[in-house]
């Protein structure tokens, strides 16, 4: 057996430069994400004193407070439910738009994508203010419903779970569309044509061809959107008011209003853990279904 040839000098030089080039990005991730997370973990084991505020300790009482207080558990379940609903809505509304953008050959396609990205340039607070103008007592929806005679007095739409769901879905919808569009563009249109030639109608082609082939993109889009929904702050505060409390505002209240950094850190870590757990399980389920479909 002949010995394997050594890689050329240029190849060795590129291999040695790899870690060096990745070093700055790794350092940024370390400073921006990992170190604050470690600090948060340490804070969560400290003790809170109303007089002296945070005191260094190693105690589980902040986590016991979460599991013993039904209020925080209810807030967490509400957050998960709202995140699931917003993720499902963004997928149902975003998939048709992503499909049209992926398959269109119009010369205005780039303009349509720019219009889709444009809302991302506007802050969440500004968009929430727009929803307040639409859903308020004297807002567009109430005025329209009264003008056409469906209602005789304004109905309460603002500061309700419905307002939070609509506002949050509007915020995350572009992320879902852009993720799905990039995946659908990679699916050859001849696959759809072959399915239709074999007798499949549009719904059968969608459910048995497009969805399975786009499963990796669906998993990525739903995970991204679910994480954004779980950690939403401005939209639930401005549109939900006291009618709906989610975890991110609850964490902010403990840290900023009550100055209870240990409990706030524990709540933040629980929110992070539940978000990653649910998103990971959903991603695994979608990929498992995708693998079974491709093997059958």
Give the span between the Cα atoms of 227 and 225, in whole angstroms. 5
Beta-ladder partners of 49: 53
Is 0.85 surpassed by the pTM of this model? no
- Domain range holding 92? 57-295
CATH number of domain containing 260: 1.10.3720.10
Give the confidence band of 197 by pLDDT, cuts at 50, 70, 90: confident
Number of domains in the chain: 1
Give the confidence band of 142 by pLDDT, cuts at 50, 70, 90: very high
Give the span between the Cα atoms of 28 and 52, in whole angstroms. 34
Residue 216: inside a domain = yes
Give the confidence band of 296 by pLDDT, cuts at 50, 70, 90: low
Give the span between the Cα atoms of 119 and 106, in whole angstroms. 22
Mean per-residue pLDDT of the chain: 85
What is the per-residue pLDDT for 289? 66
Residue 255: inside a domain = yes
pLDDT digits (tens, 9 = 90+) for 182-196: 888 888 777 877 888
Residue 36: inside a domain = no
- The interaxial angle of helices 124-135 and 161-184, nearest 10 deg, is 130
Residue 231: inside a domain = yes
Give the span between the Cα atoms of 72 and 63, in whole angstroms. 11
Residue 5: inside a domain = no
pLDDT digits (tens, 9 = 90+) for 21-66: 777 877 887 777 888 888 899 999 999 988 888 888 899 999 999 9
What is the per-residue pLDDT for 292? 65
Give the span between the Cα atoms of 90 and 166, in whole angstroms. 10
Residue 137: inside a domain = yes
Residue 16: inside a domain = no
Residue 14: inside a domain = no
Residue 119 DSSP code: G
């Amino acid at each position: 057996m002949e010995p394997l040839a050594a890689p050329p000098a240029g190849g060795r030089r590129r291999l040695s430069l790899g870690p060096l080039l990745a070093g700055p990005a790794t350092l940024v991730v370390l400073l921006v994400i990992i170190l604050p997370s470690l600090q948060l973990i340490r804070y969560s084991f400290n003790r809170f004193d109303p007089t002296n505020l945070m005191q260094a300790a190693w105690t589980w009482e902040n986590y016991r407070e979460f599991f013993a207080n039904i209020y925080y558990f209810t807030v967490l379940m509400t957050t998960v439910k709202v995140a699931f609903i917003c993720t499902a809505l963004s997928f149902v509304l975003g998939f048709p738009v992503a499909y049209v953008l992926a398959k269109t050959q119009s010369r205005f396609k780039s303009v349509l994508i720019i219009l889709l990205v444009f809302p991302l340039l506007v802050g969440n607070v500004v968009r929430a203010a727009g929803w307040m103008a639409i859903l308020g007592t004297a807002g567009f929806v109430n005025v329209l419903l009264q003008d056409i005679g469906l209602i005789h007095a304004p109905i309460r739409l603002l500061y309700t779970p419905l307002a939070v769901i609509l506002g949050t879905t509007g915020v995350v919808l572009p992320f879902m569309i852009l993720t799905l569009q990039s995946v659908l563009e990679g699916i050859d249109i001849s696959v759809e044509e072959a399915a239709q030639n074999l007798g499949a109608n549009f719904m059968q082609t969608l459910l048995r061809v497009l969805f399975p082939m786009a499963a990796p993109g669906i998993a990525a889009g739903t995970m991204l959107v679910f994480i954004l929904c779980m950690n939403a702050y401005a939209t639930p505060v401005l549109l939900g008011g006291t009618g709906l409390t989610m975890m991110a505002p609850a964490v902010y209240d403990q840290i900023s209003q009550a100055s209870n950094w240990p409990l706030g850190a524990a709540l933040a870590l629980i929110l992070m853990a539940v978000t990653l757990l649910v998103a990971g399980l959903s991603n695994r389920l979608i990929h498992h279904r995708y693998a079974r479909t491709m093997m059958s």
